[in-house]
Every structure is written in C-alpha cells, then in structure tokens.
Structure 1
C-alpha cells in the first residue's frame, strides 16, 4: 500500500523531544499519555506507515529512563465499565497493561485508584492488586475541583492523595480509557514532588489532533470522525495564537480546560511553564509525514469507514442517529461522500446482477476484486479467496480448495454444531486453505498472499457476520458494510 509516514523517523524525533522536555524541568517529567499506547489502529490507518505499536516502541527506545503509573477511576470499577474494542472491563485492562509493560522491560511504579470514596468494588480491586504484588494508591475526590485552586493545591486537596514514589526521569501516566484521572494524577504527583523538594514538570502526549497540520487537513478531520460520539471538535488554539501569533490546532476540551490547568501549575510551581495547550504537548507525529497526499487519501477513507460503522450501529441498535448526522457534516467538511471508496459501487453493482450478498476489495495495485455468496462460501470467504488469488497471480476461476475439503466442514457445522448455514465463514475457509496447502503448491501460493491484503479496504453489500468481520480485521483488512441485513427478521447474530 502507498506509504505516507516514516515510522523510524517518528520514533527518533519523538524520543529526542521527550528527553528535551525532561531536561527543561531539571530531570523529571510526568507525561500524561492520551489515546492508545498499544494497538493504535486509527493512527496506522490515517498515517499509512505508522505502526500500531509505534508509541510503545518509542518508549522502549528509552525504557531505562521510564516508569509507569496506571490510573483507573474508582467509579468505573464500581460500574464495571468496559473497553468496547477489547470487550474487557477497565480493571481487567489494568492487569493487561501491567503485564504488557512488565513483559517488555518497563517498571510499573503503581496503580492509582482515582476518585476513591469507599466504593466496595474498588476495595476488592485494591486488595487484588496488593495480593498480586502490584502497589495500589488512592486518590480522593476534592470538593470544588477543578476551580477551587487554593483548596486543590493544598494539604487538604492533592496533599491527601497517596504519593507514588518514583526514581526515573520519565513517569508515563496512562489509563484503560478516558475519564480515568490521568491529568489529576500527574498534577497530584507534581504537588508532592515539589513538597519533597524535587524539581519535576508535566507534559501531555496526544497524537491527535496534529497541532502543526491545518484545522481542515483530512488527518485532523478524521480525528473528529473518530470522536463523533463525544460531540467534540478540533479548534484553533487561541492561547497559542495570542502568545506567539502562530496558528496551531488543538482539541476543544483541552483549550477550554487550559486556564484551570495553568492556574494549578502556577500554584504548584510558582509560574506556569506553558502559555498554551499546544505548549504542553510533545507530539512530533506531524514532522514524520512523508507523503501528504497519501495521508489525505487514507484519512478520507477513514472518515467514510466511521460513517458506515455508525449507520450499521443504528441499524443494529436503533440508536445513534445524532452521531450519523454529525458524521455526514464531517464528510462534507472533508469534501467526500459515502461513495468515496470504489469498492462500494463495485459491491452494490454486482449484487444487483447476482441477486445475493457481494463483497468488494480495493487491491494494492488499485484494481477492485469482488466475491459473491455461493453454495459453498459466504460473500466474505469468496472475496478473500479471490483477493488472495489476485495478489498471488492465480486465475480467479481456478478451484484452489476442493469440494472434498469443504464438504466435511459443512457437514460438521450443520449435522453436529447446529448451524443452518452450510457455507464456510472466513475462518473456516482459511483453515481449509491451510490444510490444502500442505499438499497443493497452488494453495500454498495463494495462502502466502495474506500479508499483501493488510491495509486493503473491503465493502460488503450487507452486514456480515461478527465472525467474518473479526477475522478480516485481524488480517488488517478495513471493513465497511451497507446498513442492511442479508435476511429479514428481528434477531441477527
């Protein structure tokens, strides 16, 4: 696929800039890590060439200088709040994060339970952490937060919070999701450090919006699409414009909160080191874009994908019309519509000809391959087989998996597993292809093409099964579906 981002350059620039910020504060920095530290697939889609674990790899390049604090809101523990992308609760994700950090050589200083007010579930989780040997600290609600600065920055405010002792120059503060209290954790630690006579500072690391790209750049608009459910927006950083007469882009919530953050830092440090929200950031991602047109195209596709995800959700649940309306406005802002991908017109056109569900995929060479539902394969399975044949140079009409390999799987599904659908899903098709590749050079050749499909865009004329969608996403294929079900009914799985 066409690349537009230099990942190696980004890691080098970002690590150097963070070290620079550490030295600015006398050798210690609390870095609030926004967004996803791992698995940042949004960034990899809008910045082709950005690896999903780039931020993590950047931290690994300076791992000896890094300690980690993970913040989790006690109310989220009490309500069993879950990550939609992983399907696990925030408290379970904390344990996952600890494993990931420690497994990669990072020191985890503690887990901070914020907004603690005696929630029973938070007590259970704290005891669990202690039993596992993971230090757990409590931070309490502060009356008048965030506006009563004198109370917050006092022994009755931040002073009541349990302090996390750290020894390394860079303390990364991360969390399972938004609303976990990362900023408050950073500033509370900053208060205690200065009470102890330790020079330390604070900075924020957010990949999006990209501060040094225009407000109307598709990369920044795609971030608005990604957060359409929050009803937030990218705006010009008015504080930066006033201080430096330079136009930069920031998130509206960060700009709105800046006067309070500045006041808190002034109270803690005596003087705020920052004149704007942009000043607080350390993001260097905009300096590693190598092909602006490639990133613009990729971002426009991401906006369209967000739209189809939203309309599919409305079709499934009956709620979310406001998000769809917002995404329509965002598409207009980007100068595109839902037909931006040629895969959509290809899928819908062939569906009219065949009378059944069809999938279409844009290949790395720009051509479009389709696959239709048959007696043996579903539309997703048919599409992935045709796509693999295309990239591996095999005739699309050639039968790669024989009926003898498919029949036993279909029989197992219908006779023993209770399925009414004898057609193979993508996972079953790939399993059959893998088995066939042991004795067929052609099948082995077709199977070897899987990596070439990573980053390709697929569109289906109907909503495909969760099984098919999960497999395609694991393969790195971007999926959109027309918001309609294959069959009429009230219950769909």
Structure 2
C-alpha cells in the first residue's frame, strides 16, 4: 500500500505535545484517552503508515512519567456489557488491559468503578480485584449531572468520590469502551487535587476527527462512517472560530458538552484554560500526513467497507436500517459507491461465470486475483491460495496441496465432526499448507507470502463463514461481502 502517514514523525510530535501540556499545568496532567489504545485498526486503514499500536509506542517514549488509571462503569459490569470486537465483557477487558500495559512496562495504578451504587456484580468484581492485588476506587452518581454545576463541584458531588492516589506527572485515564466515565474521573481528580493545593490540568487525546483537516476530508468522513451507529457528526468548532477566527473540526457531542465542561473547569480551577473543545485536544496526527492523496484514497475505501459491514449486519439481524441509510448518505458525500473496489466486480463476475460463490482480492501491485468454490476448498480458501501464489510467483496452475492431504480432513469434518460442509475453511487450508511445507519447497514458498497480503482488500459474492472472516482479519486482510447468503434458509450458522 502507498504510505501516506509518517509514523516516526507522529510519535515524536505527539510525545512533545503532551510534554508541553504537562508543563502548562505545572507538572501534572490527567489525559483522557479516547478510542483504541493499542489496536487502532481504523486509524491504520485510513492513514496508511499508521501502525495499530502507534499510540502505545508513543506512550512508551513517556513511560517513566506515565501512570494508567482504568475506568469502568459499574452499570456495565452489572449488565455484562460486551466488547463487540473481542467478544468479552468489559470487566474481563479491564484485566486484559492491565496485563497488556504491564507487559509493556507501564505502571497501572488502579481501577475506578464509576456510577457505583451498590450493584451486586460490581461488588463481586471489587472483591475479585482485591484478591488480584489491584487497587479499586469508587465514584458515585451525582444528582443533576452534568448541569447542576454548584452541586457537582462540591463535597456532595465530586467530593464524595474516592480520591485516586497517583504518583506520576502524566495520568492516562482509559477504559474498555465508551460511557465508562473517563471525563468524569479526570474532573473528579482535578477537584480533589486543587482542594489539596496540587496544580493539575486536563486534556483529551482523540485521534479522530482530525481537527486541522477540512470538515469534508475523506479521513474525517470515514470517522463518521465508523460511528454511524451513534448518529453523531463532525462539525466546525464554533467556539474555536469565535475565539481565534480559525476553522477547525470537532465532534458534535464534544461541542455540545463544552459549555458545561468549561463551567466545571472554571469552578474547579478558578478559570478555564480552554476557549474551545479543540483547545482541549493534543492530537498531532494531521501534521504527520505525508501523502494526502494516499490517505484520501484509503479513507474512501474505508467508507465503502463500513457500508458493506453494515449491509451484512442488516442482512443477518434485520436491525440497523437507519445506520445503513446514513452510510449511503456518507458515501454520496465522499463521492464513492459500492463499486469503488475492483475486487467487487471481479468477484461478482466470477460467481456468474462459475455458478457458485466466489471471491476476489486486490494485491499490493494492483493485480486482482479470484477464487471460486470447489469440491474441496471454499471460495475463501481458494482465493487465499491463489493470492499467495500470485505474490510469491508460484504458477497459478500448480497444485500446491495434494488432494490426498485435503481429502482426509474433509472426511474428518463430515464423518466425525458431523459438518454438512466438507470443504476446508481458510484456517484449515493454511494448516494443510503448513503441513505440506515440511516436505515441499513450493508450499514453503507459498506460505511465506502471508505478510504480503496484509492491508489487501478482499470481496466475496456471498456472506462468508465467521471462521473464514476471522482468519482473514487475523492476517490483516480487509473483508467485504455482498449482503446475501449462499443458500436460502432461515438459520445460518
């Protein structure tokens, strides 16, 4: 893929910007960390060159000054709220986050349960954290929040919350998902710090929308596509325009909440250090774009991917029609349609020619390869094999895995595992290829091409299985499917 983002420059600029903000507040900063911290695949897709763990690596350059506080809403624990991308509950994800942070040398100071009101599941979780040696603090609901400023900034509001003991100049407040109470945690801490005579400030680190790109830049539009289910939008920051005469982009929710937030900061600190929502941010991503056209192209493709993801979800569940319509509108704004990727046309043509499900993939050099459903391999498996052959220079007509290797696996699936589908899924195909590579130089050469497929776009003429989709995503291949099933049925496993 053509690189459009200078990752090294970004890390340097971002770390320097955060250091400046720490110094601005006298040596202590509560940094609300929005979005995904170390698996930001959306950013890596729309800013080619941005690594999914870039924000994590940026923090590593500040590691000696960083302390992590993880906020989780007690109501989310009570309702067993789940992260859709990982399939685990928020309380389990907190433990996962702690493990990841600690494995990279970060100090995880504590966990704070926000909106705590004696929920039984939250109490059980507190006990579990105590057994694991993790310090847990409680923050409570505040009557009249967020508009009753006088009550909020008082001993009956933030004053009731536990004061979180911290020891580092940069306190990163993160969470397993939205609605966890990161902002409230930061402001509660500011209240307690200022009561103790400790100088401290607040800032927000959110990658998107990128404030110094135009409102209708495809990268910013792609963020609207990514959050289409929230029915939010990017808008011009009116407070920044009024204060400085400069046009910047922000999220409508942040703009709507700013007057209240500004009033809270004035009450806590005496005066607000910020004149606009844009002022609060520290994001420097816009300054690290080195090829604007490459980022525009990547963002347009991401918008189309989001459309197909929503279309497939609507087909599967019957829910999300408004989101789908919103994405159609977003595509029109971006000047793209369903046929942006040449892989779609190739997959549909292959299906028409063969009479069965098919797939196509755009390779790094622009070539498009296809794969069809056969007797032993499904469309996803066939496409993966053909793509690997293409990028490693193996003859397309060469049979890399013998039928004698595949057929016993097919018999195992139907005869012993009672699968109705004897064909190999893509993960099973890779295992067969790996086994073959022990005695075949050609197979070893073929499997060596996996990394070259990272970032490629694949399109299928039908909705593929969850196993195939998961394998493609693990390989870093972007997947889109036509919103239709291979067979007419009410139940699809």
What interval of TM-score do these two structures reach, taking the shorter chain for normalisation? over 0.9
CA–CA distance in structure 1, aligned partners of residues 137 and 179 of structure 2: 17
CA-CA distance at 1:275 after TM superposition: 0.4
CA–CA distance in structure 1, aligned partners of residues 188 and 129 of structure 2: 21
CA-CA distance at 1:414 after TM superposition: 1.1
Q: What secondary structure sits across from 1:361 in the alignment?
A: strand
Q: What secondary structure sits across from 1:371 in the alignment?
A: strand
- The corresponding residue for 2:163 is 163
Q: What secondary structure sits across from 1:96 in the alignment?
A: helix
Q: What secondary structure sits across from 2:112 in the alignment?
A: strand
- Pairs within 5 Å for 1:322-337: 322-337=322-337
CA-CA distance at 1:131 after TM superposition: 1.2
- The corresponding residue for 1:38 is 38
CA–CA distance in structure 1, aligned partners of residues 159 and 45 of structure 2: 43
CA–CA distance in structure 1, aligned partners of residues 422 and 182 of structure 2: 50
CA–CA distance in structure 2, aligned partners of residues 470 and 421 of structure 1: 18
- Pairs within 5 Å for 1:70-469: 70-469=70-469
Higher deviation after alignment, 104-113 or 219-228: 104-113
CA-CA distance at 1:25 after TM superposition: 0.2
* Unmatched segments (≥5 aa) in structure 2: none
CA–CA distance in structure 2, aligned partners of residues 258 and 109 of structure 1: 29
CA–CA distance in structure 1, aligned partners of residues 414 and 119 of structure 2: 48
- The corresponding residue for 1:8 is 8
Deviations 1:240-283 (A, max 9, x none): 00000000000000000000000000001001000000000000
CA–CA distance in structure 2, aligned partners of residues 43 and 466 of structure 1: 24
CA–CA distance in structure 2, aligned partners of residues 370 and 468 of structure 1: 16
CA–CA distance in structure 2, aligned partners of residues 407 and 78 of structure 1: 48
CA–CA distance in structure 2, aligned partners of residues 435 and 5 of structure 1: 38
Q: What secondary structure sits across from 2:108 in the alignment?
A: strand
CA–CA distance in structure 2, aligned partners of residues 313 and 352 of structure 1: 24
- The corresponding residue for 1:473 is 473
CA–CA distance in structure 2, aligned partners of residues 89 and 311 of structure 1: 26
Q: What secondary structure sits across from 1:108 in the alignment?
A: strand
CA-CA distance at 1:103 after TM superposition: 1.5
CA-CA distance at 1:108 after TM superposition: 1.1
* Count of aligned positions: 493
CA-CA distance at 1:105 after TM superposition: 1.1
Runs of 4+ in structure 1 over 3 Å off: none
CA-CA distance at 1:394 after TM superposition: 1.1
RMSD: 0.6
Deviations 1:285-327 (A, max 9, x none): 1111111111111101110010001010111011111000000
Q: What secondary structure sits across from 2:127 in the alignment?
A: helix
CA–CA distance in structure 2, aligned partners of residues 309 and 404 of structure 1: 37
CA-CA distance at 1:125 after TM superposition: 0.6
TM-score of the superposed pair, with normalisation by structure 2: 0.99
CA-CA distance at 1:116 after TM superposition: 0.6
Q: What secondary structure sits across from 2:172 in the alignment?
A: strand
CA–CA distance in structure 2, aligned partners of residues 400 and 459 of structure 1: 23
CA–CA distance in structure 1, aligned partners of residues 189 and 319 of structure 2: 41
Q: What secondary structure sits across from 1:202 in the alignment?
A: strand
CA–CA distance in structure 1, aligned partners of residues 369 and 14 of structure 2: 39
CA–CA distance in structure 2, aligned partners of residues 262 and 296 of structure 1: 34
CA-CA distance at 1:350 after TM superposition: 1.2
CA-CA distance at 1:367 after TM superposition: 1.1
CA-CA distance at 1:184 after TM superposition: 0.3
CA–CA distance in structure 2, aligned partners of residues 10 and 90 of structure 1: 30
Q: What secondary structure sits across from 2:340 in the alignment?
A: coil
CA-CA distance at 1:139 after TM superposition: 0.3
CA–CA distance in structure 2, aligned partners of residues 456 and 359 of structure 1: 13
Q: What secondary structure sits across from 2:88 in the alignment?
A: coil
* Unmatched segments (≥5 aa) in structure 1: none
CA-CA distance at 1:404 after TM superposition: 1.2
CA–CA distance in structure 1, aligned partners of residues 421 and 320 of structure 2: 31
CA-CA distance at 1:482 after TM superposition: 0.2
Deviations 1:221-242 (A, max 9, x none): 0000000000000000000000
Q: What secondary structure sits across from 2:271 in the alignment?
A: coil
CA–CA distance in structure 1, aligned partners of residues 231 and 396 of structure 2: 45
TM-score of the superposed pair, with normalisation by structure 1: 0.99
CA–CA distance in structure 1, aligned partners of residues 421 and 32 of structure 2: 49
Q: What secondary structure sits across from 2:162 in the alignment?
A: coil
